[in-house]
Structure formats: C-alpha cells, structure tokens
C-alpha cells in the first residue's frame, strides 16, 4: 500500500504548531517516511452492554483538521473503529477500550469514532499500553443532551511514539468531560480539541502528565467557541523529573463574534522536580465579543515547596515520603475525577514508581 | 526524663542584603514536665529560635549546640529531630494541597512509631484526638490546613501534639488568633499532653492570657536575638504592665 500522500507539507519545525516537537523522534509519522503496518489495534476489553456497539466501518471525518498527520491518516484510510452508544442509553459501568498489539518497525494509522446518541450517558476509558508507533484521528460526537466522560491513559512503553488528535464535537446541551493522562512513551503529542456546534454545551478537559528523563509529552489544546452560551474548563497538571524531560502545554481558546455568553477558564500547573527538565506552557485566549460570562487563564511552573516539605518532615516523615505525599497531592485533584478506584490506584502507584526511577 | 539543651546558639539568615545574624547566643534548658514561656517583641527572633531547633533549611547555624537527651539535634535532618522527640507547633501552619489530614496523620504516626498503627485502634485514636480539640470529624477528609481558619489551624497543631506524643514541644504563638473558647480548649490539650506524656513545653507568646490556663514554671524575656531576663510567672504580669522598653534599650 502506498504510504502517505504527499499533498501535505512536511513540517520543518519552524511552524507554530510544530515548534516544540522533536520531529526527528516521530519515527517518520510527520514526513511520510514511516512504513505503515497493517493493524487495527483498538479492541473492546469486555462484553459491551446493551445499546452499545463497536464496529469497523467507513466514515467521513466529523470535522476538518489542519494537522498534517491527521490529514495523512485520513488520506490513507476511511476505515474507522466506531464505538457507538445509542440514544437515551445510560451505561452505568465504564466501557473499556484498549490496544492489544503494537510494533516499533511499522506505524499504525488509526481512525476512531466515539458517538453518543441524543441523551445517552456513558464513561469510556481508552488505555494505551505497549510499544508502538501510532498516529490516531479520534473523533467524538456528542448528540444533543448526551453526556460523556472520556478517560485516556497513555501508559506506553519507553520507545513508543503517539501522535493524535482527540476532537470532540459538542451539540446542544451536551456535556463532555475528558481526562487525558500521559505517563509513558518516548514522544507523545496529543491535540485535545473541542468545538461547540450548538448552544448550551459544556466541555471540561482535565489532564495529568509526568515526563521523566528524555521523554517528550505535548498537549496542544484548542477550544472553539463559535456558538453562544457554551462553557469550557481546562485544567492540566504536569510534573517533570530528570535530564531532558520536556513537556509542552498549549491552551488555545477562541471565542468568536457570535459566542456571547461564553464562559471559559484554563489552567496549567507544572512541577519541576529536578534540574535539566523543561516545561513550556502557553495559554492563549482570543476574544471577538465582549458579551461573555468570563474568560481567563493561568499558568504556573514551580518547584517543590520547601515549606510544605518542612512541615511534613517536622512530623517525622522522611524526605522521600514527604515528596511522595506532595506529588500525590499535586495530582490528586485531577486523578480523583477519574472516579474508578482501580485506575486511580494504578496511576498513583505508577507516579510513585516514576519518582523512584529518577531517584527524586 | 528528657532534656533539651540549647547552648550559646547563634543563627543567621541569608538575605538580599547579605547574611544577617538573628540569634546572638541563646542559652536555654527545658526538661520533661516543665513549661517555659518565652515573651519578646516582634522581630526579636523567637520564631527563628523555634525553626532553627526544628531544622528549617532557611536558617544557618553560626555557632552553639542543641542537644536532646545528649544527642546532637543540629546534625539531624528535620524528620530525624521529630523522631528524636521534638515537635514544633507553627506560628503559620502550612497548607499541603491534595494531602488529606487522615493520610498525613497516619504517615506521620507510622514514621514516628516505626510501624503503621493498627487500623482498628487508629481510627478511634484520631477520632478521639479530634473530639478533644473540638474539631469536626470532617476535618479528617480535608486537605492539610487548606482553607482552615487561623484558629482551626492552631487546633490542628495541638491535635497533632496529642496524637504524636513528642517529648519536647515548641509552641510558636499557638494562642494567637484563638477565640476565648478555643484558647481554653487548646490550653487543655497542652496540659493533657504534659500530664499524660510528661511533655516539656516552650511556649512562645505575646499574651499573658494563655498563661492563666497553662502555668509557666519559667518566663524568659527574649530581645535582640537572646534571652535577656528570666523569672517566674510573675515576670509575665510585669511585662504586660510595662512592655519591653527596658529590655530593648539594654
Ligand atoms: N529572609 C529574611 N530577610 C530579612 N530578614 C529576615 C529574614 N528572615 C527573618 N528575618 C528577620 O529576622 C528577625 C526575627 O524574625 P522572627 O520571625 O524570628 O521574629 P519573632 O520574634 O518570631 O517575631 P514575631 O513576634 O513578630 O513573630 C526579624 O527582624 C525578621 O525580619
Ligand atoms: Mg514569630
């Protein structure tokens, strides 16, 4: 199969969207030199409840994308793994999706659709593990009044490359909550993006990332408020430890001239646990109407708070345990939103072991 | 029987304007069961003394010694000092986001006792300690000091004092910011810790009010980085009447 079309320009690294990304480590996903393997790795983990289906079908994209990797995926494939939750179905238990196979010598181009019918309610967990090279065009369609909690966990092994866009299209009064957790991989670049297509919708984008020695994790958020009376919240927290650990957080929020009544706030906090790590954090708000409820952003990058460590240690707690408590505490606010004990425990333990690995 | 001995302690801090000496030779000995009140003007170095003994990294020991039962505290890390039996109730207790009071207390008790407290008895131990300080049990699930009022933070400090059972405690202005009822409750907590564990106490305060509840065996006047006068409980009343003018000009 011929690889990727050449209609798309190959980024040089000077483009705004690519200026932080280590292109050389993308294993050819960006410049069409990757050899495409023949795999569709996404699977459902357990029996699906009534009203939920998982199929492979040919679907047109929900929304255009100017990301060139997404463009290449679409040019190469119309086959989509489609998780669909029918109208009015309320799924009590989380639906688990995961990946069963991967490879480093070839790349997978994946298209995924998650769609909720009107007034459907569901929690979907997508867990990425193993060593793989994966480019993913994941689109989420929320019909009017539907409600999705979407948890993605990137626990790739250390050589993996993952370049993805997670795009949600939110219809009238629909509610979208995502928790994007990135803890493993060599290069992970995710574009969590949202567009509102009718008034009354809400989107809450939460995220946690922890990059250790040499890892590059980028989260490039974009929220388009082009219709009135939608609400968005973004809160990403990251920790970095070890030489050349590098994270990038971009928060682009655009409020169009018709989007009166918009209410948006975005926040990014980074904790630099050692020297030699680098956190880039760039919030960016563009507003074309004054008729809004609120719009704001905040971004901080700091180190361990000596006063917190002193307080804990003055109660007999060792430095290592004090640091562990502070880091767990830092992430707790977001991890607790996951609401699934087994995942929360696993993530906290993983965070502990990342800490141990770099000897903080 | 425990003894905290502070000998000729001089301490400095680094500032933008260079190193400045704050403690200029402090001598003080505290034994189990004794209550020592320290009173002195703002900025005289009382908190510096408390933090230096506890090992806060901001303070640099210039000279002198601090020993607890003959062991050199100044060579120990902050947590080792606590495990040696020292406790500091802070003037400004620190907020630790995302760490629940119950998790914090359990981690501290585990560190101090050398093993995790038994789950069954631990729950009631914490509940009783909180009840004794008139703290709502809901505080156990809140984050450490986060959003606590000034008085709630102080009660939380004394609750830890009772739960963690140190040998010697330094209470830095624990009475500041307490309403009349809270003051009595906190004082009772300190007195209980003294009775039950033969606690030795250094009580840093600006007011004689708390000394009506916690009877000092000694009162020390602190000025310009050292102890300039010592006496019994009557000295506190004298200070309240006359202020520190005599000592500051000395
Ligand atoms: N980083 C610093 N830079 C400059 N001065 C400092 C610094 N840290 C402490 N000091 C000074 O050291 C002195 C002693 O402070 P300390 O907090 O020990 O006083 P205190 O006796 O506890 O006062 P208070 O009764 O107001 O609590 C003060 O004058 C304070 O300004
Ligand atoms: Mg003070």
Evaluate whether A111 touches A137 at the Cβ level (below 8 Å).
yes
Average pLDDT of the segment spanning A322-349: 96
Q: pLDDT tier at B196 (50, 70, 90 boundaries)? A: very high
Query: What pLDDT, on the 0 to 100 scale, is given for residue A213?
Result: 95
Note the pLDDT of residue A239.
97
Contact call for residues B247 and B219 (beta carbons, < 8 A): no
Q: Distances in Å between the alpha carbon of B197 and those of A178, B93, B167, B168?
A: 52, 24, 7, 10
Closest-CA residue to A134 (of A63, A204, A58, A187): A187
Does residue B69 surpass a pLDDT of 70?
yes
Protein residue closest via CA to atom 8 of ligand 1: B13
Q: Give the pLDDT score at A4.
A: 43
Q: For chain B, list the strands marked E by DSSP.
A: 3-15, 18-31, 35-39, 59-68, 71-72, 86-89, 96-100, 143-144, 168-172, 200-204, 218-223, 226-231
Instruction: Indicate if ligand 1 lies below 6 Å from the C-beta of B45.
Output: yes
Contact A316 B93 (CB under 8 A): no
Give yes or no for a contact between A126 and A94, defined as CB atoms under 8 angstroms apart: no
In this prediction, residue A359 has a pLDDT band, given cuts at 50, 70 and 90, of: confident
Tally of residues, chain A: 360
- Tell me if ipTM is over 0.90: yes
Which residues of B touch chain A, with CB atoms under 8 Å apart?
54-58, 77-79, 81-83, 87-88, 90, 93-99, 103-104, 107-108, 111-112, 143-144, 160, 164
Quick check: A321 pLDDT over 70? yes
Q: Are B2 and B69 in contact (CB under 8 A)?
A: yes
pLDDT at B200 over 70: yes
Assign A101 a pLDDT band (cuts: 50, 70, 90): confident
Q: A100 falls in which pLDDT band (50, 70, 90)?
A: confident
Ligand (nearest to CA of B49) = 1
Please give the residue that has the higher pLDDT: either A5 or A289.
A289
Digit-coded pLDDT (tens) for A23-53:
999 999 998 899 999 888 999 999 999 999 9
- For chain B, what is the mean pLDDT? 96
Q: How far apart are CA B69 and CA B3, in angstroms?
A: 5
Mean pLDDT of B39-44: 95
Q: Which residues of B touch A310 (CB under 8 A)?
A: 54-57, 78, 94
Question: Residue B194 and residue B202: Cα distance in Å, rounded?
Answer: 12
Average pLDDT estimate for A206-214 = 97
Nearest to B164 by CA among B88, B115, B107, B109: B109
B82: its two tokens: 């606590």
Distance from CA of B217 to the nearest CA of A (A): 26
Q: What percent of chain B has pLDDT over 90?
A: 95
Among B47, B54, B76, B79, most A C-beta atoms within 10 A, so best to mutate, is: B79
A2 pLDDT tier (thresholds 50, 70, 90)? very low
Task: Fill in the DSSP letter of residue B179.
Answer: -
Q: Which ligand is nearest to the CA of B22?
A: 1
Question: B183 alpha carbon to ligand 1 midpoint, in Å?
Answer: 25
Strands B226-231 and B218-223: antiparallel
Tell me which residue has its CA closest to atom 11 in ligand 1.
Answer: B43
The confidence score (pLDDT) of residue B152 equals 95
The answer on pLDDT for A219 being more than 80 is yes
Minimal Cβ distance to B99: which of A307, A319, A325: A325
> Both tokens of residue B240?
């309240």
CA A253, distance to chain mean position in Å, is 16
Is the beta carbon of B22 within 6 A of some atom in ligand 1? yes
The answer to whether the CB atoms of A317 and B96 lie below 8 A apart is no
Ligand 1 atom 5: residue of nearest CA: B15
How wide is the angle at C-alpha B65 spanned by C-alphas B59 and B71, nearest 5°? Answer: 110
CA distance linking residue A262 with residue A227, whole number of Å: 8
d(CA A347, CA A190): 19
- pLDDT exceeds 90 at position B25: yes
Of all residues in chain A, the percent with pLDDT exceeding 90 is 91
* B57, B78, B94 member nearest A308 (Cβ): B94
Q: Give pLDDT tens digits for A266-298.
A: 999 999 999 999 999 999 999 999 999 999 999
- DSSP for residue B134: T
Q: Which of the four pLDDT bands, split at 50, 70 and 90, describes residue A8? A: low
Angle at A88 between CA A82 and CA A90, to 5 degrees: 80
pLDDT surpasses 70 at A1: no
- The radius of gyration of chain B from alpha carbons, rounded to an integer in Å, stands at 18
* Gap between the Cα atoms of A311 and B84, Å rounded: 16
Per-residue pLDDT reduced to its tens digit, A234-246:
999 999 999 999 9
Selected residue of B50, B80, B84, B96 to mutate for chain A interface (largest A Cβ count, 10 A):
B96
Q: Do B104 and A318 touch (CB under 8 A)?
A: no
Q: Are residues A80 and A111 in contact, defined by beta-carbon separation less than 8 angstroms?
A: yes
Which H helix or E strand runs over A209? strand A202-212
> Is the minimum distance from the CB of B124 to ligand 1 under 6 angstroms?
no
Q: Is the pLDDT of residue B195 over 50?
A: yes
- The distance of Cα A234 from the centroid of its chain, to the nearest Å, equals 11
What are the φ and ψ backbone dihedral angles of B104, each rounded to 5 degrees? -60, -50
Q: Ligand 1, residues B23, B40, B48: which to mutate, most atoms within 8 A of Cβ?
A: B48
Cα-based distances in Å from A310 to A304, A315, B58, B77:
11, 9, 10, 10
Q: What is the mean pLDDT of chain A?
A: 94
At residue B190, φ and ψ (nearest 5 deg) are: -65, -45
Contacts of B58 in chain A (CB under 8 A): 306
pLDDT given at position B249:
66
Q: Is B108 in the pocket of ligand 1 (CB under 6 A)?
A: no
Confidence band (pLDDT; 50, 70, 90) for A5?
very low
CA closest to A336 among chain B residues: B98
Q: How many CB pairs under 8 A join A and B?
A: 82
The tens digit of pLDDT for each residue in A130-176 reads 999 999 999 999 999 999 999 999 999 999 999 999 999 999 999 99
């Amino acid at each position: 199969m011929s690889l990727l079309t050449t209609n798309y320009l190959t980024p040089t690294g000077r483009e705004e969207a690519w200026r932080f990304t280590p292109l050389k480590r993308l294993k050819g996903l960006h410049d069409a030199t990757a050899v495409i393997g023949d795999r569709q790795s996404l699977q459902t983990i357990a029996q699906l409840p009534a009203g939920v289906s998982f199929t492979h079908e040919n679907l047109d994209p929900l929304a255009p994308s100017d990301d060139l990797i997404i463009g290449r995926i679409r040019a190469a494939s119309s086959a989509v793994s489609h998780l669909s939750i029918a109208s009015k179905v309320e799924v009590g238990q989380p639906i688990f999706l995961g990946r069963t196979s991967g490879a480093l010598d070839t790349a997978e181009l994946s298209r995924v659709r998650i769609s909720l019918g009107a007034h459907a309610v569901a929690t979907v967990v997508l867990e990425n593990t193993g060593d793989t090279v994966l480019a993913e065009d994941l689109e989420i369609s929320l019909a009017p009044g539907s409600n999705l909690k979407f948890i993605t966990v990137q626990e790739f092994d250390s050589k993996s490359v993952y370049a993805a866009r997670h795009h949600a299209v939110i219809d009238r009064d629909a509610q979208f909550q995502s928790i994007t957790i990135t803890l493993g991989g060599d290069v992970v670049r995710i574009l969590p993006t949202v567009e509102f297509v009718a008034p009354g919708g809400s989107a809450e984008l939460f995220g946690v990332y922890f990059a250790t020695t040499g890892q590059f994790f980028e989260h490039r958020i974009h929220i388009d408020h082009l219709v009135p009376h939608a609400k968005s919240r973004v809160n990403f927290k990251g920790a970095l430890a070890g030489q050349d650990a590098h994270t990038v957080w971009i928060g682009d929020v655009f409020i169009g001239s018709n989007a009166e009544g918009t209410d948006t706030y975005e926040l990014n906090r980074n904790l630099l646990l050692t020297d030699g790590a680098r956190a880039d954090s760039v919030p960016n708000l563009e507003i074309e109407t004054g008729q809004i409820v609120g719009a704001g952003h905040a971004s901080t990058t700091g180190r361990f708070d000596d006063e917190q460590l002193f307080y804990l240690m003055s109660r007999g707690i060792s430095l290592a345990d004090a640091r562990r408590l502070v880091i767990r505490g830092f992430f707790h606010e977001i991890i607790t939103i996951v609401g699934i004990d087994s995942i929360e425990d696993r993530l906290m333990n993983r965070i502990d072991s990342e800490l141990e690995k770099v000897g903080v | 029987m425990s003894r905290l001995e502070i000998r000729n302690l001089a301490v400095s801090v680094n500032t933008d304007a260079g190193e400045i000496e704050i403690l200029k030779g402090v001598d003080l000995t505290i034994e189990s069961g004794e209550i020592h009140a320290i009173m002195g003007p703002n900025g005289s170095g009382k908190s510096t003394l408390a933090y230096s003994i506890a090992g806060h990294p901001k303070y640099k020991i210039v000279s002198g010694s601090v020993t607890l039962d003959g062991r050199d505290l100044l060579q120990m890390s902050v947590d080792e000092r606590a495990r040696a039996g020292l406790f500091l109730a802070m003037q400004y207790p620190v907020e630790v986001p995302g760490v629940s009071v119950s998790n914090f207390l359990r981690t501290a008790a585990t560190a101090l006792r050398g093993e995790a407290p038994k789950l069954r008895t631990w729950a009631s131990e914490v509940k009783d300690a909180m009840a004794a300080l008139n703290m709502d049990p809901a505080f156990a699930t809140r984050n450490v000091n986060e959003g606590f009022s000034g008085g709630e933070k102080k009660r939380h400090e004394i609750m830890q004092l009772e739960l963690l059972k140190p040998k010697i405690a330094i209470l830095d202005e624990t009475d500041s910011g307490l309403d009349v009822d809270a003051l009595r409750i906190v004082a009772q907590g300190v007195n209980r810790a003294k009775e039950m564990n033969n606690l030795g106490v250094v009580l840093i305060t600006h007011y004689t009010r708390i000394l009506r509840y916690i009877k000092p065996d000694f009162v020390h006047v602190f000025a310009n980085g050292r102890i300039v006068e010592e006496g019994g409980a009557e000295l506190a009343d004298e200070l309240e009447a006359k202020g520190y003018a005599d000592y500051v000009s000395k």
